[in-house]
Amino acid sequence: MSKIYQIYGKDAHDMTLRLLEASNAIEQVPSGGSVALKPNLVVAGTPENGAVTHPGVLSGAIEYFRDRGVADISVIEGSWVGDETQRAMRRAGYREVVERYGVPFYDLKKDRTRPVETAIGKIDVCARALDAGLLVDLPVLKGHCQTVMTCALKNLKGCLPDREKRHFHAMGLTKPIAALAAALKPGLVIVDSICGDLNFEEGGTPVETNRMYLGTDPVQVDAYGASLMGLSLSQVPYIELAQRYGGGSAAFSEEDIVNLNQPSDVKGYPRPSGTVARLTRRVTQDNACSACFANLVRALYAGSCGQDVDICIGQGFRGKTFDGVGIGRCCNGATHCVMGCPPSADQIASFLQEYEGSAL
């Protein structure tokens, strides 16, 4: 089973370098092969808004592969039908990165395409994605208004011409996303989960997780991402369908997660606002790690439960005993506690559902 390397922090460049080094990612590049970096630039937005990949992920990846002798490195992307890729790359801060490193940026809306046979018929795919020696998928883990979540698998949709993107929507997204996953397999996935949006692919309600992770199986990466968001695989059906089509395996266990540091290495969660503040109105936090607090936020949203429960979270509760619900290992003195450091959103959501059910 593939390993998933995970790191906590706020510096996307440094985190990307550390993930690549820990996983010895250079072994994924064929001898003399090229590397194509595929970020998420769905719209002209900023990374802090929760919609697009941080430019530090690009700079970290470029630096890592260049320092190990890879000469042919490029950034490839085609934003959604309603936006211009070049405008999106400037807004996200990518122009400065590609100019600093002298790396070309290719707008896939202008790329030639080739038909690829898939489980649902032929799909036209951009040639630069197909011809890459190593295709590196750099998605943002975030919510989506139609598919509930988007991560590694759906990010590959940016490797299609606009006419094929429209066709995907006409087919309902689920089957074509899964079919593309089996036909266009990235050799490496680095997930930007520093501040993905709670429920919308265009951003606007970012949840600050301060986490990134790396894997080599995009189906497994998405299955893990779903658990982090408090979602079951049945809520994101293209993941298991991609597995059925041969895109990878959705299986993972705690033993498959390699943590390079701890959530407590990152300063506490910022003061919530907007939707996040509403979801956490009955949460008392004392020096909570951003990853733990973000998992609670996603659990409260995805699970549609727990919002009327008094909850405690944070390192400030370590060593204290109290009546009520505690989240994470630091709150193990609570009469009811979700253990973990941090517990995943799906663990928290399941616990809160059982807790509310027992209280009825």
pLDDT in tens, 115-166: 999 999 999 999 999 999 999 999 999 987 787 889 999 999 999 988 888 8
- Closest to 305 measured CA to CA, from 239, 230, 254: 230
Q: What is the number of alpha carbons within 13 Å of residue 214 lying toward its C-beta?
A: 25
Residue pLDDT, tens place only, 221-252: 999 999 998 889 999 999 999 999 999 999 99
pLDDT value at 305 more than 80: no
Rg (CA), the chain: 20
Model pTM greater than 0.85?
Answer: yes
Mean pLDDT, rounded, for 341-347 = 89
Cα–Cα distances in Å, from 304 out to 197, 286, 312? 17, 24, 18
Task: Answer whether 15's CB lies under 8 Å from 261's CB.
Answer: no
Interatomic CA distance for residues 21 and 24, integer angstroms: 5
pLDDT digits (tens, 9 = 90+) for 139-149: 999 987 787 88
CATH code for residues 4-259: 3.40.50.11440
Work out the average pLDDT over 202-206: 70
Using DSSP's 3-state secondary structure scheme, residue 190 falls into: strand
- Residues across the chain: 360
In the chain, % of residues over pLDDT 90: 62
Domain boundaries, the chain: 4-259, 264-359
The pLDDT, as a whole number, for residue 360 is: 45
Give the contacts of 255 (CB within 8 A, at least 6 positions apart). none
Mean pLDDT of the chain, nearest integer: 90
Cβ atoms of 120 and 175 within 8 Å: the answer is yes
Over 70: is that where the pLDDT of 343 sits?
yes
Asked if 345 and 230 count as a contact pair (C-beta separation under 8 A), the reply is: yes
Query: With 70 as the cut, is the pLDDT of residue 359 above it?
Result: no
The mean pLDDT value for 49-68 works out to 94
